[in-house]
C-alpha cells in the first residue's frame, strides 16, 4: 500500500507541474476581439483590446537596467534590427520573463489542445485558453453543430513548424502572432454518419495564424488566444 501511495502521489505532482507550466504561457485573461466562428474557416478578428495606462517596466531577472541580457534570447531567436526583433524587445521591456522560444513551445501545446477541444466540444478547456469573444465564437459553432446532430472527429498528427511572425505592445497589451503548420485528420459527419465535410482518413496540412495576447500590467503571466486566421 505504501508503494502504491507513493506512485500515485508522484503522478499527481507531475500532473500539477505540467498544468502550471502550460498556464504560465497560456492564458487566464479575457480579450475584446471579434472571434472566429470556426478555427478552420477564414479569419474573423479585430484590433487587439485597448488597455489604458503606460507600460509597466518590470524588474529584469539579470538586474541590468539597459536590458542587454534580457535581449540575448530574442537576438538568438531573430536577427537584431528587424521589425520582429524590435517587437519582441518591446514585449521583453514590459515583461522581463518573456522568452520567445518558450513562448512558441507553449503556443504549440495550446494549439493542439484548442483544436482537439473544439472537435470534442470541450467548452471547459476552451474557456480557459481563449479570450471571451473568441470563446463565444467557438461555442456558437459547437452549439450549431450539436443542434444539427453533426459530429466533428479529428486526429491531431503533429505540428511541422511554428514561427513567430509578428509581435507588438499597444499600451500595456502585448500580442504575438504565430504561424503554425500542422497535420490533421478531420471530418464532419451528419446524423446518419455520412461524411459531409473533410476526410476521415486523409492527413491534411493546416496552415494557421494564431494571435495570443496578455496585459503586461497584470500579475497574471498567462496568455489567451485572441484571433485565428486560416491560410489554407
Q: How many CA atoms lie within 13 A of 114 on its CB side?
A: 29
3 in a structural domain: no
Quick check: 151 pLDDT over 70?
A: yes
Residues 34 and 45 sit within 8 Å (Cβ to Cβ) = yes
43 in a structural domain: yes
46 in a structural domain: yes
- With H, G, I as helix, E, B as strand and everything else as coil, classify residue 178: strand
Number of domains in the chain: 1
Q: What is the pLDDT of residue 27?
A: 43
126 in a structural domain: yes
- With H, G, I as helix, E, B as strand and everything else as coil, classify residue 123: helix
Q: What is the pLDDT of residue 221?
A: 83
What domain range includes position 59? 33-230
70 in a structural domain: yes
Quick check: 232 pLDDT over 90?
A: no
> What phi, psi does 191 have (nearest 5°)?
-60, -35
Q: Provide the whole-model pTM.
A: 0.71
CATH for 149: 3.10.450.240
Quick check: 131 pLDDT over 80?
A: yes
Q: What is the pLDDT of residue 88?
A: 97
Quick check: 173 pLDDT over 90?
A: yes
Quick check: 158 pLDDT over 80?
A: yes
16 in a structural domain: no
19 in a structural domain: no
80 in a structural domain: yes
User: How far is Cα 79 from Cα 76, in angstroms, rounded to an integer?
Assistant: 7
- With H, G, I as helix, E, B as strand and everything else as coil, classify residue 201: strand
Residues 92 and 60 sit within 8 Å (Cβ to Cβ) = no
pLDDT band, very low/low/confident/very high, at 68 (cuts 50, 70, 90):
low
Quick check: 157 pLDDT over 60?
A: yes
User: How far is Cα 164 from Cα 131, in angstroms, rounded to an integer?
Assistant: 20
Amino acid at each position: 500500500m505504501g508503494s502504491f501511495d507513493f506512485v500515485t502521489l508522484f503522478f499527481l505532482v507531475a500532473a500539477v507541474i505540467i498544468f502550471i507550466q502550460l498556464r504560465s504561457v497560456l492564458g487566464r485573461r479575457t480579450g475584446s476581439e471579434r472571434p472566429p466562428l470556426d478555427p478552420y474557416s477564414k479569419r474573423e478578428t479585430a484590433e487587439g483590446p485597448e488597455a489604458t495606462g503606460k507600460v509597466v517596466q518590470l524588474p529584469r531577472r539579470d538586474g541590468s537596467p539597459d536590458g542587454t541580457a534580457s535581449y540575448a534570447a530574442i537576438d538568438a531567436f531573430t536577427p537584431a534590427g528587424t521589425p520582429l526583433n524590435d517587437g519582441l524587445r518591446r514585449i521583453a521591456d514590459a515583461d522581463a520573463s518573456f522568452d520567445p522560444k518558450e513562448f512558441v513551445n507553449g503556443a504549440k501545446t495550446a494549439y493542439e489542445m484548442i483544436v482537439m477541444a473544439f472537435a470534442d466540444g470541450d467548452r471547459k478547456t476552451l474557456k480557459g485558453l481563449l479570450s471571451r469573444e473568441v470563446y463565444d465564437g467557438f461555442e456558437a459553432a459547437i452549439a450549431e453543430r450539436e443542434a444539427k446532430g453533426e459530429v466533428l472527429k479529428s486526429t491531431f498528427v503533429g505540428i511541422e513548424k511554428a514561427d513567430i511572425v509578428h509581435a507588438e505592445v499597444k499600451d500595456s497589451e502585448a500580442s504575438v502572432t504565430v504561424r503554425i503548420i500542422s497535420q490533421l485528420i478531420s471530418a464532419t459527419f451528419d446524423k446518419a454518419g455520412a461524411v459531409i465535410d473533410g476526410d476521415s482518413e486523409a492527413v491534411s496540412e493546416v496552415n494557421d495564424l494564431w494571435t495570443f495576447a496578455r496585459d503586461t500590467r497584470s500579475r497574471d503571466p498567462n496568455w489567451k488566444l485572441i484571433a485565428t486566421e486560416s491560410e489554407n
